[in-house]
Amino acid sequence: MAMNDSVNILNSAYLAVEYIDSFLPDNPLQQPFKNAWNYMLDNYTKFQIATWGSLIVHEVSYFLLCVPGFIFQFIPYMQKYKIQQDKPETWEKQWKCFKTLLFNHFFIQLPLICGTYYFTEYFNIPYGWEEMPRWYVLVAQCFGCAVIEDAWHYFLHRLLHHKRIYKYIHKVHHEFVSPFGMQAEYAHPLETLILGTGFFIGIVVFCNHVVLLWAWVICRLMETIDVHSGYDVPLNPLHLVPFYAGARFHDFHHMNFIGNYASTFTWWDRLFGTDSQFIAYQEKEKKKQCVTKK
């Protein structure tokens, strides 16, 4: 009975969004995107699309999303939004991070990406334009992927902080006490595999088109680069996402090496009380600000 009620609610929500969408103006970018998509299908094989397309989406998205945070370090006005103002980025750290990233991307992640084609073939996932889900379905699927990845990340990330294994794997990621955007995927190869597994679980559950692979890659990179940026910038559109953790939440984890284990949302840390030190820290900071204003 409860399952039927849930299905009815989801169907009603889907119909409501579909009805609203029918009144929205046509997207002027839809036709060019359709033409580009069909050109890609006509000129490249599925293996090329799944493998090299996924690699390009990942690399271009990753480094483009890192650009704002990289530029912020050269803008004096933006320094008031830097969370750990006493720990500026250095060229030495950024160069070391960049070299490790290239190794992880091409020697750890690329072999995994090469399996994308076989994954789509095994599950019979379509590539065609006609089968592509509508934007609101894609948004819902990406949110579902985020919820699943967040749960996986919380428990496995917390496990990686266990004193018996921390120094062997996760300590690499915590080399930078004050994180910066490019550091988001700076990690031990084993951590890349362990925590990265959570990314694929949502794909297995929701994927009904290859475009979801790329949409979810972009969403996940957008989130993880933001929380590692080191800057708590106002009017951040990601803060419109319910229960979104944000940069200040994760920055505290890097400062203290404990608590705030979830990747995207706050509910797991609230449920298990692993955000208690962060809450106490926030209260302390608020009192300091009140005293300063007086």
pLDDT of residue 8: 54
For 176, the domain range is 90-234
pLDDT of residue 18: 63
pLDDT of residue 2: 45
pLDDT of residue 46: 97
Q: Which pLDDT band holds residue 284 (cuts at 50, 70, 90)?
A: confident
**pLDDT of 131 above 80:** yes
**pLDDT of 6 above 50:** no
pLDDT of residue 1: 47
For 72-116, list the strands marked E by DSSP: none
What integer is the mean pLDDT of 95-120? 94
Assess if residue 2 is contained within a domain. no
Q: Which pLDDT band holds residue 3 (cuts at 50, 70, 90)?
A: very low
How large a percentage of the chain has pLDDT more than 70? 89
Q: State which amino acid sits at residue 275.
A: D
**pLDDT of 186 above 60:** yes
Assess if residue 99 is contained within a domain. yes
Assess if residue 21 is contained within a domain. no
Assess if residue 218 is contained within a domain. yes
Encoded tokens for 218:
């972009």
Average pLDDT, the chain: 90
Assess if residue 121 is contained within a domain. yes
Secondary structure class of 28 (helix, strand, coil): coil
Encoded tokens for 163:
């004193």
Assess if residue 240 is contained within a domain. no
What integer is the mean pLDDT of 172-181? 93
**pLDDT of 160 above 80:** yes
What integer is the mean pLDDT of 244-273? 96
Chain segment 28-66, per-residue pLDDT in tens: 778 999 999 999 999 999 999 999 999 999 999 999 999
| Distance from C-alpha of 192 to C-alpha of 67, rounded to nearest angstrom | 22
Assess if residue 22 is contained within a domain. no
Q: Which pLDDT band holds residue 157 (cuts at 50, 70, 90)?
A: very high
Structural domains of the chain, count: 1
Q: State which amino acid sits at residue 222.
A: M
For 227, residues 6+ apart whose C-beta sits below 8 A from its C-beta are 184, 245, 246, 247, 249, 250, 251, 263, 264
What integer is the mean pLDDT of 220-237? 95
